[in-house]
Chain A
Amino acid sequence: MNSLQVQPVARKITGIRWLPPRAGNAYTDTDLYFVSGSSAKHKELVLWTTANPDFQQTNDDNDNVDAETSSPLATLVAKVKHDGDVHDIAAPASDIVATASSFGTISIYNIGHTDSGDNSLSLREAVTAHKFANGEPAVATSLSVQPTNSADAEIASCGEDGRIAYAPISRLDALQRHEVDSTVITGVCWPMPAQLAIATRAGQVKLFDRRAPAEVQAVFVDPSNTYEFECIAAHPSQSFRLATGTDTGAVLLWDIRNPKKPTMEAFNVHESNVWSVGFHSSDAAKIVSCSEDASLAVTQWVSDSDRQSRGVRHLSGFFNTLSVNCFDVCPFTRTSIIIAGSDSGNLLMEKTAASDFAIY
């Protein structure tokens, strides 16, 4: 078990997301920003900053640092109250953050950076996307941003009312909702800009065409097991590969090229509910997942050319005993940084130096 660096923040963190660098796609920011959302007693969105490890001198003793003797992992820059528990966060641009809340609303927050170094978070607009038939608000369980470069990218959310809702980020009032399932929908993602995939608690993965969301394009189920899915993620480039996490600790990798006969491989990497799953941003041969069993797992699901064989690496911290709720891998740095938030009120971080590039 590798160990995670732990910073106690006295908040139950349930959503976390890296912000894109301000200077467009350049990798020259010396400071990285991320946003965390918390639930239970204090419902807030917090903007944090941490030093970019690509620009640091090599510190050999960076692993296993004692939390009290080293400087904090991240410093708080700004925070704002959030209406309801934060269930998911998406960061479409470096100055916009979208959240899914326990009242079923999608909210957009603006991040203000001034030249003098002041940063602020403020609510721009919010729309109620999920409600039950009897009028009670339904928890919006997950958010996903359409992977397109157009300015009018859409954001999709799914909720406990069995509906998916999507709207362009710039025009939230044009929200459309469709009921697509009779149980709780726990995860949503966009394998392609025109396709949505959801994972439900009844163990089904459903595909929809964005242009006709009321009809299900395809449904995938593993008939030999009664899984309940907790999350879903799409491969960044291969749109036929999906990963789902289950309530018993397995991460399933689907290949849906043949919709009538999907293939699925199960990796039993956790002991309890897998709350979030994702393909590693710089190395899609790895799947990262976080779970109720207080650990993160990095699974190498395909052996690649340079001696990395299939296997799994677990990350945990001694002082973090409660569920790891959410994580995000920074896609903008060469050093791979994973940050995660847990129920123990901790921010967790792991940095691995990038392997050297082979020179031809």
Chain B
Amino acid sequence: MPVSGCPAQAPGCLLPAFPHGLSKEAPFTRQPQPMDTVRIAVVGAGLMGLSTAVCIPTLVPRCSVTVIADKFTPDTTSDVAAGILIPHAYPDTPVHKQKQWFRETFDHLFSIANSAEAGDAGVYLVSGWQIFRSMPTEEVPFWADVVLGFRKMTEAELKKFPQHVFGQAFTTLKCEGPVYLPWLEKRVKRSGGLMVPQRIEDLWELHPSFDIVVNCSGLGSRQLAGDSTIFPVRGQVLKVQAPWLKHFIRDGSGLTYIYPGTSNVTLGGTRQKGDWNLSPDAEISRDIFSRCCALEPSLHRACDIREKVGLRPSRPGIRLQKELLAQDSRRLPVVHHYGHGSGGFSMHWGTALEAARLVNECAQALGSPAPKSKL
């Protein structure tokens, strides 16, 4: 469980203005900070919030980081995702950027996978196949040289999938939310970061306790950032016991997939645009199971089947952007870092680094005597 803050009214701390009449035991207070510490609030404790919270202290000198969210692992969307590193294309994000972020994420996780930390971080290598029922327009995707050993499947390999005519074989990484997120939380805390369980209804709540806000609230940005371009793409998955499965299998449509994990196998899935329903649907579960068994008949022996639902925070492009909120005489620099849709795990480290760079720019601007409008 995340740790709440420090004693109320510790000297040197600023008490936040609380419009909601909450107790005087203000959770935003912390140990006294030197006056030139940049106080950074990260809203959201999913993959983006936590990884940004880890990156920020490495780039921003003299800062404090507080992660504020209504949900922490294991209750975030990131906990439902299988965490396999296979990128999704964002129509509004330039391909060279997507490739850069994917490469940065892959390289970062690859070194963790090969270290003694791999188990604690929940990161490991997995090989498998992406298969297509008809020839894809792009036989070699932009990320082919980032994953390992990418090649076309042989005829003999394709025999395993009689309904499919083409396939790609490669080795990639799996990053398990329920293990990776707690590991990130530990890293945040080790560098002095705080976790605060609190639902934020308006980013202005963070003013003036914080100097910079990083918005990693995913779908919450509809409200917090007034962004109507972000919408849920509902994904239902099954988590089953089938430990004999060692390979991932993904249908090129992205609708049907089998991702073996450390403690279970994720079977998916659905892509239901605009659907906010978080309750699993039994009919859908049967359909997912049936589609996956068609690809991998041994799944008929799978047991201990559990249903999960996650709402992918989908957007035509990932929003990585600074914004200076202004209200009367108040100013609040915000760095937006959200909208990864299906590709969160694949892009997270690259975009977190970029978000941290933007935060640093904001921090520099705070320190300089230049007019705030420069932001």
Task: Answer whether A and B are interacting partners.
Answer: no
Interface residues, chain B, CB within 8 Å of chain A?
none
